[in-house]
A = this chain, B = another copy of it.
Amino acid sequence: MNGKDGGEREMTRAQAPAAFEKFLRGRGLKLTRPRWVILEAALDRRDHFSADELADRLRKNPRPVSKASVYRTLALLKESGLLEEHDFGGGRKFYEQALGRTHHDHLVCIGCGQITEFQNPRIEHMQDQVTEREGFVSVFHSLKIFGYCRACRKRGVSADPQTAHLPREIVGIHGSTT
């Protein structure tokens, strides 16, 4: 919301199309209109969005894009590093912008679906120690803490761990840095 972040966001967004085009070129792929539409739609989002929700939306676009193309292009955007893919359970993949952002992990509210991001260098460091001790080379990791957010607690929402499950919809982002 402040000037610095906004500026970086804009800068990143301006660079994204060029980065994607470069990625496509390097693979002998073409920059088509559907791909452009999907890229723009993805760049418009600051939240964690699912492939099928985006597909539904773009199907009704002035420039309709098919479900197949949305799935294919999101995969490309992920490979290019522009997007990051997450599995919050529930059998659907979610995406979020990755270009110009730093690694973070997630708190997932099983009451309302709200997602809160956090960064914790100490946790990251301990993970390195664990992998090193095991002779394991880490490529990526996923740390998700499921529970109830402050708002849901105030609202009295809760359930027993054994029965708990993700809400159908992921709701939004609450940033946070440790």
A-side interface residues toward B, CB under 8 Å?
78-81, 87, 89, 91, 107, 109-110, 116, 118, 120, 122-123, 126-127, 129-131, 133-150, 153, 158, 161-164, 174, 176, 178
Known A-B contacts A87-B87, A126-B123; the reply to A141 vs B139 at CB < 8 A is: no
Copies of the protein in its oligomer: 2
CA–CA, A144 to B86, complex, Å? Answer: 12
Cβ of A134 and Cβ of B150 under 8 Å apart? Answer: yes
Cβ of B110 and Cβ of A136 under 8 Å apart? Answer: no
- Determine which of B109, B110, B127 lies in contact with A145 in the assembled complex, contact meaning CB atoms within 8 Å: B127
Q: Could you list 7 further interchain pairs (A-B, Cβ under 8 angstroms) beyond the known A127-B143, A131-B145?
A: A116-B134, A135-B149, A136-B147, A139-B146, A139-B148, A141-B144, A142-B146
Residues of chain B within 8 A (CB-CB) of A141 are 143-146
CA–CA, A73 to B158, complex, Å? Answer: 25
Known A-B contacts A141-B144, A142-B144; the reply to A153 vs B176 at CB < 8 A is: no
Query: Which chain B residue has the least Cβ–Cβ distance from A119?
Result: B130
Cβ of A139 and Cβ of B118 under 8 Å apart? Answer: no
Known A-B contacts A123-B127, A143-B141; the reply to A136 vs B161 at CB < 8 A is: no
